[in-house]
A and B are shown apart, each in its own frame.
Chain A
Amino acid sequence: MSSQQRDAAIVGIYEYPLRTVGPEASSLRIKAECAIRALEDAGLTLKDVDALYEAGEEGAVHAGIPSLPEYLGLHVGIADTTMAGGASYEFQAAHAKRAIASGKANVALLTYGSTLRRGGTALGSSGRSYAAGYPHPVVNMEEPWGLTLVGDYAMVANRHMHQYGTTSAQLAEISVAARLHGTRNPQAVQAMTDLQFKGTGEITIEEVLNSRVIADPLHMLECCMISDGGGAVVIASPEVARGCKEKPVWVLGGGEAIKYPENADDITFSAAARSGPMAFGEAGVSPGEVDVAMLYDSFTITVLTVLEDLGFCRKGEGGQFVQGGRLRFDAEAKPALNTDGGGLSSNHPGMRGIFLLIEATRQMRGQSTSQVAGARLAVASGMGGRLGSRHAAGTIVLGID
């Protein structure tokens, strides 16, 4: 661990507590509230921020000029609107680390807000892509087939099962672990209550397998929820971090990659097979050392694929790896998975990547509701887009002194 560069640290976090918002909330307001609360958590102010990162979902008031600096009242040099779906915030954290390390920024703010649930979008099963109607070759080749977002991920699961003998019972372990952690997180319990889950207690593998199949082989309890929500993260230079309220959680490494369908491609590998080694290489750590893995759980197969691609186990061995409850926060073996409850049991307002960074930071601070004893290293790996077709993977390695 000698090569770890301590050139940027997470010093502030905030997770919006509500998963079902009323008419007084908007994505802009949630972004602003989360930004202010995360800065308060750090002991900083809006005036300290010199770099802003957000996914630009609000669009621009005038030709491409980001509107959020004005709304927040920031005078920033860097206004980065990198959009990589659910991986946006891991991409942005990597960018913030580079900007700070090169001396171009001292305090970077990442913020996210969404009212996806209130908007009534059936993201997983509508059968429409974001780009529907827009003349693009991909839309032309794929839109006529009625492939849902769930179905896209399900095609990876079917191929994984065919190629490696993975079973639905193995995939269900991921849902069971997430739910256990969700039951220990009051915000997650409230979320499941507000979203009218049939039950908010622990679930069994059998219950997952007995839930309705949405797109073979994925069952309802293998699919994340649709909620409202938001969050913010503040990343600062070592000089700033030393004066903040909480101990610095170092951004040790970052990696970004894009993958898309190709003829003769093996879709059981994701872009995380490239973003992971990039992040671990920069951090100077190996997957075996990682205490906590915050992996985007849009669906169970997303987690299984990324566990393999990041190198926690070999490709094809993910099914065996997750068996026997080893993903629990209190298991002997590392790493613990999605200790806040994940998208499966805590929140999913559309782009969950920021919560991976937030919960990984809580673990490093010792503040998780499913705290892993002695945790010193965490990985947050976001996945945006569609696993079976084009997607983005962003991986961040975090650690403490």
Chain B
Amino acid sequence: MADIPRPLPNLHELDTQPFWQATKQHELRYQVCNDCQGVVFYPRRHCPHCMSFDLRWEQSKGEGAVYTYTIIRQIGHPVFRARQPYAVALIDLDEGFRLMSHVIVAKEDVDTVKIGQRVRLDWEDYDEVSLPVFRPA
């Protein structure tokens, strides 16, 4: 069971490929529409707000707040089971986009994770990508 790896993003997926490639440089990227200035996330080719195809990439400062979270205490996947209990959260970045991630705390501190808590970006490195995670600010 131990050789079942953690699920990682597929770098052949066209829309999110630039996002994940940038993680290797520890850059957290998001898109902004040049026509309507709307924030687009998750990444894609078109702007769902105004139908434009003219989007640019911006780099997030990596600061935000916990919108909501849960503590996973039962999971079948062996990689995650070894980590439980852990906090999965939706993080509202200050630039106006929301992404799913982990709030990294020691297992014994897992109950300290709270909605509204300020968090800061950190990285977990893998061979082809790095995963953007968050720690209490």
Contact = CB atoms under 8 A, between A and B. Distances in A.
Interface string A247-274: 0000000000000011111010000000
A146 B79 contact: yes
Interface string B88-104: 11101000111111100
Nearest to B6: A144
Contacts of B86: 146
Nearest to B114: A162
B13 interface: yes
Interface in A203-255: 212-218
B8 interface: yes
The size bracket of the interface on A is 35 or more
B98 A264 contact: yes
B75 interface: yes
A147 B6 CA distance: 12
B127 to A, nearest CB: 13
Contact of A215 (B42, B43, B74, B99): B74
A284 interface: no
A193 interface: no
B6 A261 contact: no
B39 interface: yes
Contact of A158 (B6, B70, B99, B102): B70
A142 B131 CA distance: 11
B88 A159 contact: no
A141 B42 contact: yes
Contacts of B100: 141-142, 145, 147
A267 B99 contact: no
A263 B75 contact: no
A140 B67 CA distance: 21
A262 B43 CA distance: 12
A257 B72 CA distance: 29
Contact of A140 (B6, B20, B92, B115): B20
Interface in A105-143: 122, 125-128, 132-133, 135-143
B80 A146 contact: yes
A148 interface: yes
Task: Pick the most buried of A122, A136, A158, A262: most chain B CB atoms within 10 A of its CB.
Answer: A158
A343 interface: no
Interface of B: 6-10, 12-13, 15-16, 20, 39, 41-44, 67-77, 79-80, 83, 86, 88-90, 92, 96-102, 115-116, 131
24 contacts: A125-B76, A126-B76, A127-B76, A127-B77, A127-B80, A133-B10, A135-B12, A137-B42, A140-B13, A144-B7, A146-B88, A147-B72, A155-B69, A156-B68, A158-B115, A215-B71, A215-B73, A215-B74, A261-B90, A263-B92, A263-B98, A264-B98, A267-B67, A267-B68
